[in-house]
Amino acid sequence: MAGRLYLVPAWLSEDAPVESVLPTTVLERIRTLNDFVVEDAKSARRFLTACGHPGPMRDVAMKELNEHTAARDVPDLLEAVRAGRDVGLLSEAGVPAVADPGSLLVAAAHAEGIAVVPLSGPSSIVLALMASGLEGQRFRFLGYLPADASERTKAILELEKRSARERETQVFIETPYRNDALFASLLESCRPGTRIAIAVDLTGPEESVRMQAVEAWRRKPATIGKRPATFLLLA
Amino acid sequence: MAGRLYLVPAWLSEDAPVESVLPTTVLERIRTLNDFVVEDAKSARRFLTACGHPGPMRDVAMKELNEHTAARDVPDLLEAVRAGRDVGLLSEAGVPAVADPGSLLVAAAHAEGIAVVPLSGPSSIVLALMASGLEGQRFRFLGYLPADASERTKAILELEKRSARERETQVFIETPYRNDALFASLLESCRPGTRIAIAVDLTGPEESVRMQAVEAWRRKPATIGKRPATFLLLA
Mean per-residue pLDDT of chain A: 96
Percentage of chain A beyond pLDDT 70 is 100
Q: Other CB atoms closer than 10 Å to residue B189's CB: what's the count?
A: 16
Please tell me the distance in Å from B199's CA to the nearest CA on chain A.
10
CA distances to B8, B43, B129 from A22, in Å: 14, 24, 18
B203:A120 CB<8 A: yes
Percentage of chain B beyond pLDDT 90 is 97
Exposure of B144 by Cβ count < 10 A (0-12 exposed, 13-18 middle, 19+ buried)?
middle
Chain B hits for A52, CB-CB cut-off 8 Å, are none
- Give the span between the Cα atoms of A160 and A155, in whole angstroms: 9
B102:A136 CB<8 A: yes
Q: Note the CATH number of domain B5-118.
A: 3.40.1010.10
| pLDDT at B1 > cutoff 90 | no
Q: Thinking of the domain B124-234, which architecture would CATH place it in? A: 2-Layer Sandwich (3.30)
A133:B99 CB<8 A: no
| Buried-exposed string B119-131: b where 16+ CB fall within 10 A, e elsewhere | bbbbbbbbbbbbb
Q: What is the pLDDT of residues A53-88, one digit of tens each?
A: 998 999 999 999 999 999 999 999 999 999 999 999
| pLDDT at A149 > cutoff 80 | yes
Alpha carbon A27 to its chain centroid, in Å, reads: 19
A120:B122 CB<8 A: yes
Q: Which of B232, B94, B99 is nearest to A138 (CA)?
A: B99
Please tell me the distance in Å from B98's CA to the nearest CA on chain A.
4
Interface test with B, best of A103, A142, A208, A210 (most B CBs within 10 A): A103
Strands (E), A19-145: 35-38, 61-64, 87-90, 116-118, 139-144
B85: CB partners within 8 A, 6+ apart = B3, B34, B35
- Give the span between the Cα atoms of B125 and B129, in whole angstroms: 6
Give, in degrees to the nearest 5, the angle at Cα A70 between A69 and A73: 95
For chains A and B, CB pairs below 8 A equal 173
Please tell me the distance in Å from B59's CA to the nearest CA on chain A.
27
The predicted pLDDT at position B60 comes to 97
Residue of A130, A135, A212 with shortest CB distance to B96? A130
Q: What is the pLDDT of residues A114-136, one digit of tens each?
A: 999 999 999 999 999 999 999 99
B125:A130 CB<8 A: no
* Extents of the domains making up chain B: 5-118, 124-234
